[in-house]
Amino acid sequence: MAEAAAGGSRDCGGGGAGELVKPFTPEKAKEIIMSLQQPAVFCNMVFDWPAQHWTAKYLSKLFCGKQIRFRMGMKKADTVPQFETMCSYVDATLEEFLAWSCGQSVSNAGPFNHYDNSKFWAYADYKYLASIFEDKADVLQNVVWSDFGFPGRNGRESTLWIGSLGANTPCHLDSYGCNLVFQVQGRKRWHLFPPEDTAFLYPTRIPYEESSVFSKINVVNPDLKQFPQFLKAQRHLVTLYPGQVLFVPRHWWHYVESIDPITVSINSWIELEEDHQARVEEAITRMLVCAMKAAEDPTNTKAWLNPTEVEGTSHEINCQYLNGAISAYLEYNKIAKTFKATDFKKSDEHRVEAPLKKRKLDVHTRAKEKKSPCHKLSMHTTKPEEKIPFGLDLIPVLPSLLDESSERRIIENDIKDLVKESGRHLGKLNCAEVQPVMKKTEIPPSDNIVSDSTTCPSQPFVSTDDLLDCLVNPKVINLVAQLLLQKRTCNFQV
């Protein structure tokens, strides 16, 4: 387990106030990101970013009274995940959010005055900075992802997350890319699970959101009678502090919760070459989910479509989407000259950059886009993980040895622990901690597809969602995509 406060910037030059130097050059940071197969926390890399001052109070001035949408969830200990379809929403200013989260009078809290902040949390999540600051483009330069080896990437390719105590995102994996998360204000607790544990997380595509595969489990309060395989999942637990940047590798599951009264984070998804096939898989999933759920209840999309999905879901549009994804995949491989007609396995050998995780595929223009150059970083030639420079400035997120009750106790005691030392000193102490490695327990092959229906063999009724869980299981969709691409490739080469 890696839990650390943000360390101060490195001071070089004897004992005096020397030049502030970052521990990794952009080239080295990118090399680490592209080779790491586990989550890790970067320290001392953003001390000169103007965005380090983007507290909620500071942002409220930049927003100039602009309203943004907040997701309102309940603070309750439930075994069922609190999906976005179960939440309510309010449009409010950051000033009103701050007044509400601080317990001020209802007159200052605007639409929040209908919610008791001791019972509810608020989350302004998934706010694209490019949209928020469309009239202040210079502000986007305050986020400097080029320090991590991605030239030109800044706030334009980033999203903003502002939450109150208890705000959370249900456990899910992202179909596209890897993730860099910069913690600005407050702390967030991250529960992460590796891709090989997918079967133990009971994946579902209801609610449907492109690129998000949700888990049926509330990982902080699991129902082990209904989901017994979850006991085999290997939890990695980390608390992210202001000034730190978390790297989340491709297809790692994560549940994120705010553990301070106000939290602010900025993230950017780094697109990978594997995403070209992933977009085909997502298009197949979209077509199946929309066709079956729309047929089941044509008038009630809110019950199964995530609020982030605002595009049309007609069969005609989904067909265009699928064909566009396939065309883009074939065109990319043709241009990159790396295509092999008999090789359709996911590969980690080539990675490319693109702006946003959830950028929808433009079926009319995507295939014609100029492709970024390939970065040939083969898993077979990557330096062994022991050569990764873990230490004070790069903390690996290792498996947690704690049970659920211990985790809850740690969350409750976080504030007490935090005030014992200054942020900089505590960061150095925690970064230096020797972290135990948990031996992997006996786990069945990950190829086994686990369904919660196996725990209720006598249940006679099979719902649409039960069938969808099988049809759009990530492993099934991956196989369908390979078969479909193989068929299209033969036609493409004739």
Cβ atoms 209, 282 nearer than 8 A: no
In CATH terms, the superfamily for domain 2-270+387-431 is Cupin (2.60.120.650)
pLDDT score recorded for residue 8: 47
Q: How does the average pLDDT of the chain come out, rounded?
A: 81
DSSP state for residue 399 in the 8-state scheme: B
Which contacts (CB < 8 Å, 24+ apart) does range 401-409 have?
401/1, 401/436, 401/438, 402/1, 402/237, 404/220, 404/221, 404/222, 407/220, 407/237, 408/220
Higher per-residue pLDDT: 310 or 163: 163
Q: Tokens 């729309």, residue?
A: 294
| C-alpha torsion sign, points 94, 96, 97, 99 | positive
Q: What is the mean pLDDT of residues 445-458?
A: 51
Would you state the structure tokens that stand for residue 470, as one six-digit string?
A: 């099988």
Average the pLDDT over each of 83-97, 140-154, 159-173, 331-345 and give the range with the smallest value. 331-345
Average the pLDDT over each of 129-138, 362-371, 396-405 and give the range with the smallest value. 362-371
pLDDT score recorded for residue 414: 47
Average the pLDDT over each of 11-20, 432-441, 460-469 and give the range with the smallest value. 432-441
Q: Is the pLDDT of residue 395 over 90?
A: yes
What is the distance between the alpha carbons of residues 321 and 286, in angstroms, rounded to a whole number? 9
What is the distance between the alpha carbons of residues 342 and 345, in angstroms, rounded to a whole number? 9
Q: Model confidence at 80, in pLDDT bands (50, 70, 90)?
A: very high
Q: Model confidence at 493, in pLDDT bands (50, 70, 90)?
A: low
Give pTM, 2 decimals: 0.80
Burial of 492 (0-12, 13-18, 19+ CB in 10 A): middle
Q: What is the mean pLDDT of residues 258-270?
A: 98
pLDDT score recorded for residue 382: 44
Q: Is the pLDDT of residue 416 over 90?
A: no
Residue ranges, CATH 2.60.120.650, the chain: 2-270+387-431
pLDDT score recorded for residue 367: 35
pLDDT score recorded for residue 376: 36
Rg (CA), the chain: 23
